[in-house]
Amino acid sequence: MARIIGSIATSHTPTIGFAHDFKSKDDPVWGPIFAAYEPIKAWINEKKPDVFFVIYNDHITSFFFDHYSAFALGIGNDYAVADEGGGARDLPPLKGQAALAQHIGASLMAEEFDMSFFQNRALDHGCFSPLSMFAPRDNGAWTVPVIPLQVGVLQFPVPSALRCWKLGQALRRAIESYPEDLKVVIIATGGLSHQVHGERAGFNNTAWDMEFLDLFEKDPEKLTKLTHADYATRGGMEGSEVIMWLIMRGAMNARVKKLHQTHYLPSMTSIATAVYENAEDVTPSPEAIAAQRQQIGYQLAGAEKLEGTYPYTLQRSVKAHRINRFLHDLVYPAHREAFLADEDAEYEKAGLSPEERDLIRRRDWRGLIHYGAIFFVLEKLGAVTGVSNLHIYAAMRGQSLEDFQKTRNAPGALYSVAGKAAGQQSWDQPAKS
Ligand code: FE2
């Protein structure tokens, strides 16, 4: 079974990444930042974790207000460094731990946390700033895969401190119900006190930082009772992102051992680091693990017996992301015009595999579904290539259109999602008068 072997708390200010990339350990201003991470590196070296579960918030880099969500879990296989305006930092992409991430996602949903899920999205300084200081690398490449959890703390309403705490408790049950023996370290990022906007920009409160660190270790439930306004009053508006730490704390025992702690305020943000382990070993009973697994599978149990039915799961989503992306992008006029002009050139540009190209080229509607494409991108391909939805349904069933139409109440009905721009479809004859 997977288990949490300890946790790290760390600020994620860009200052840390800047220090890493441009400054030296011997510089009196920047040196304390490097020094703060030395014990963390040593601890990781000793513990040899298999996975980092990284809780962070994006700073309107890869997540924007066209679709903003509370808890977004990364379920993919890799995560590049985001360009935050001046070009991306010179760091390799992180590897994901997709299988455990997907299990955690399913477990949290089964406990009624309505998660959102992402893949193929770059991560910003919220994640990379601290990781660049302590995550192990070999020949430049990161050696420990990550599961990122992006928490939407920038557009109110945002999750409460209590909700973060409860999510952490559910996260522990999710990790501990994963069958593979994996050592997981939870990394909580953010804070401490700072404010970066408005006339109050530059606000800090070291006394509150110290009180927070103390409560976080010894009486974290007290922190779950504070409102966002309480956090903003004490630690600055942006400092209230520190509620993310409570996700990590909720996943730990009530009693923890603090192995390391630092606090340094060089400029705008109080940079804190800490390492915790559980004070005692609490392993869930085999019955509790079995019950959790049953709960995870409960909603879809039995669906596998439905003939010709393929629930669109996180696993399918990750496996078939590239082809779904390609077909989805037919919603953009430039892509569909290029596709109609030269399919092969578009396949090449998108890096589709030979199998994926073949499935689309042959309009193998059933094969596409088996491969992992979702129906709703097939109807886009149909709309672009002049094929009605009914043709696609019939083809998926392995029937002629005529035979399939006989099973409908209105056998003459043909339609697609094509708009006016697609022009007259060959199958769509004007109504006879
Ligand atoms: Fe942040």
For the segment 105-122, what is each residue's pLDDT rounded down to a tens digit?
A: 999 999 999 999 999 999
Cα 228 to averaged position of ligand 1 atoms, centre (Å): 15
A 10 A CB-CB count for 73 gives 24
pLDDT value for 430: 59
Nearest to 111 by CA among 250, 244, 8: 250
- In this prediction the pTM is 0.95
- Across the range 132-139, mean pLDDT stands at 96
Q: What is the pLDDT of residue 102?
A: 98
In the reported structure, the alpha carbon of residue 60 is separated from the centroid of ligand 1 by a whole-number distance in angstroms of 10
Token pair for 81: 């460094």
Cα-to-centroid distance, 13 and ligand 1 (Å): 7
Domains contained in the chain, CATH given: 3-297 (3.40.830.10), 320-422 (1.10.700.10)
Q: What is the pLDDT of residues 18-30, one digit of tens each?
A: 888 998 888 988 9
Per-residue pLDDT for 307 more than 70? yes
pLDDT at position 433? 47
CA of 241 to the centre of ligand 1 (A): 6
Ligand 1 centroid, distance to 345 Cα (angstroms): 41
Instruction: Just list the catalytic residues.
Output: 125, 194
313 Cα–ligand 1 center, Å: 31
pLDDT at 429: 64
Q: Please state the length of the chain.
A: 433
Q: Is the pLDDT of residue 292 over 90?
A: yes
Share of the chain above pLDDT 70, in %: 99
Could you tell me the CA-to-CA distances from 267 to 26, 203, 237, 395 in Å, in that order?
A: 18, 10, 16, 64
Are 242 and 190 in contact by the 8 Å Cβ rule? The answer is yes
